[in-house]
Amino acid sequence: MLGAGPLAERAIPRSGPYHLAVLVSELVDRMRAAAEEDPTWLGSERNLALLEEFAAERAPGTVVRWGQSGQRAFASGGVLSIEPPVELAGYDSIFIHAAMAHHEVLHRVYSDDTGAAAMSGRLTLYTPYLTTLGEQVFNWLEDVRMARMEHAAEPANDDYPVEVHRLSVDQQEALYQSSLGEQPWTTSPTHPIAQVRIALAKRILCGELDDLVAPAVARVMAELEPEISIAIASQETNGARGGALAVVAVLAREWDELRRAHAH
Ligand SMILES: [Zn+2]
């Protein structure tokens, strides 16, 4: 019968550029079923093969390998390293594992290197702290920008980036507290510049900042808001790079004022 070939059977119409259903919930369901049947499945070669099948739908040719703890990145040649599922307090390990795999696949689909060398070159003109912060701000902006692109292509996947971003901010808040010995959200931080950094992470990754911050930090964040919004709305990765450079330029200008903000 005309039109009843294999593709017609498995294809579900999508509004985005992908004609095949690439729902993260399907990956989660399959992982849960497999883990229930055999508890040794999680972290196994079969787990890896399923991730590879999932990644290949969006980024053909992707090879998935188990990485070190905390490692989660694409290397050159389409090799995705991802750590096996781990227990994280407050998170569903299978859900977050699938969300992290999805996150890296989104980089393959939406992120590119255009302007990368120019951004790195311009960031080296700043202090080492601001150079590093600029790279981090770029990564946060790009993560949210590509989640926005994914929303347009497949809104059913919306919950997964949200959870990855929530985990990232949780971990940064914990690190802030353990390394600086105080809560990040206070109107009198000992290190206002560190508070600007965590405020940027929260605003960009969680979409809003309704926590207590120092008045000087609130003023700088308000000044940065248009740059952040424009970068996230950009159609290209280079828009996130431009946003990171704009953020760093403002912080360099406001640096002394921010440092003085805790001196009384
Ligand atoms: Zn990322």
Same-domain status, 92 and 120: no
State residue 90's pLDDT score: 93
253 C-alpha to ligand 1 centroid (Å): 28
Convert the pLDDT of each residue in 214-258 to its tens digit: 999 999 999 999 999 999 999 999 999 999 999 999 999 999 999
Distance 139 CA to ligand 1 centre (A): 6
Spacing, Cα 82 to ligand 1 middle (Å): 12
Does position 9 have pLDDT exceeding 90, yes or no?
A: no
Whole-number Å distance, alpha carbon 250 to ligand 1 midpoint, is: 24
**Ligand 1 centre distance from Cα of residue 15 (Å):** 24
Q: What pLDDT, in 10s, does the model give residues 36-65?
A: 999 899 999 999 999 999 999 888 888 999
Q: What is the reported pLDDT for 33? A: 96
The string of DSSP letters for the chain reads: -TT-SHHHHH----SSS--S---HHHHHHHHHHHHHH-TT-TTSHHHHHHHHHHHHHHSTT-EEEE--TT-EEEETTTEEEEPPP---TTS-HHHHHHHHHHHHHHHHHH---TTHHHHHHHHTTS-HHHHHHHHHHHHHHHHHHHHHHHHHH-GGGTHHHHHHHHHHHHHHHHHHHHHHSS-S--SS-S-HHHHHHHHHHHHHHHS---S---HHHHHHHHHHHHHHHHHHH-SSHHHHHHHHHHHHHHHHHHHHHHHHTT--
Quote the pLDDT of residue 70.
66
User: What confidence category does residue 11 fall into, taking pLDDT thresholds of 50, 70 and 90?
Assistant: very low
Residues 194 and 77 occupy one common structural domain: no
* End position of a domain, from candidates 110, 132, 157: 110
**Stated pTM of the model:** 0.89
Q: Which domain holds residue 256?
A: 116-260
Query: How many domains, in total, are found in the chain?
Result: 2
Same domain? For 156 and 78 the reply is no
> Do 99 and 163 reside in the same domain of the chain?
no
Determine the distance separating the centroid of ligand 1 and the alpha carbon of 138, expressed in angstroms. Answer: 10
Q: Is residue 31 part of a domain?
A: yes
Residue 72 lies in a domain: yes
Measured in Å, residue 37 CA sits from the centre of ligand 1 at 32
pLDDT value at position 78? 82
